[in-house]
Amino acid sequence: MASSTPSCDSPEGQIVLEVGGQTFKTLRETLVHQSTFFASLLSGRWNSKSPDGSYYVDADPNLFEHVLRYLRRGVFPIFYDYDKCRHDYHMYLALLGEARYFGIHSLGDWLKNEGYHDAVEVSLTLKTISDTRRHHESLPPCGHVEHQLIRQEDKIYQYCNGDENKLAGCEVKTRYQLLLVKRFIRFNPRKCLM
């Protein structure tokens, strides 16, 4: 009696990949749909299976995890640190290399064209406040507020009998203002979908 469960050799079957010492399991169609590398590897033209039936792939398993996630769902990756308010360009560059190696053109093009900048929008607003004693500023969601105290000196000149040519003295008045820098971060998930 034939088994109804697909084998690793069938087009619908599960594929086991050994990537840098880590095992990944997925479906053949997931791999060959967008990757010229996997379409070639799993075409059956070469016997590239290990004795245990898995396929060895020479790649970084941490990066491959993002590659496989993209192949499964078509969602572009975002490597953004909200605390530091910056993208992880090293990760984008490393993943671009993997996308090129695996022949995943849509992912490679998105990374090369820096599509991640469209997915994360950062806006700044500046506000000065003269009365620093009674001010309260709410923190926006996904945002950050920084405070800076600004010292300003105003010189008030005094003249003899109103004659601007006869300076009698100068008084310096110091005043303080509070500068608020509000940083708001907005994520646009539509820019991460194929």
pLDDT in tens, 66-103: 999 999 999 999 999 877 888 999 999 999 999 999 99
Task: Compute how many other C-beta atoms are within 10 angstroms of the C-beta atom of residue 15.
Answer: 22
Considering only CA atoms, which of 132, 115, 41 is closest in space to residue 75? Answer: 115
Q: What is the CATH code for 14-120?
A: 3.30.710.10
Tokens of 70: 């993209």
Domain boundaries, the chain: 14-120, 122-186
For the question of whether the overall pTM of this predicted structure is more than 0.85, the answer is no
Average pLDDT estimate for 150-163 = 80
